[in-house]
Amino acid sequence: MKWQVSHSKEVRRNLLAASLYRDLRKKAVTVPSTDAAIAAVAIHHGIPLFTRDEHFSAIARHSKLQLLA
């Protein structure tokens, strides 16, 4: 018997953020978990971020995050 788990939007968002954070850590990139959460939502929705925060620049170098200049 297969179990089906229905995740709320909040749980899915947190799983995306945790996955991004883990992938970055594997590449020796350390960023605050809050920045990983913001980036994960932006990546998921295809929304570029406008920021000058170096953490997001690092995330963008190692993921599909798009930044506006």
- Summarize pLDDT for 24-53 with one digit per residue, the tens: 999 999 999 999 999 999 999 999 999 999
Give the pLDDT confidence score for residue 63 in this predicted structure: 96
Answer whether residue 7 shows pLDDT above 80. no
Topology (CATH) of 9-68: Rossmann fold (3.40.50)
Higher pLDDT, 26 or 2: 26
The domains of the chain are located at 9-68
Q: How confident is the model at residue 5 (pLDDT cuts 50, 70, 90)?
A: low
Residue 48 sits at φ, ψ, to 5 deg, of: -70, 150
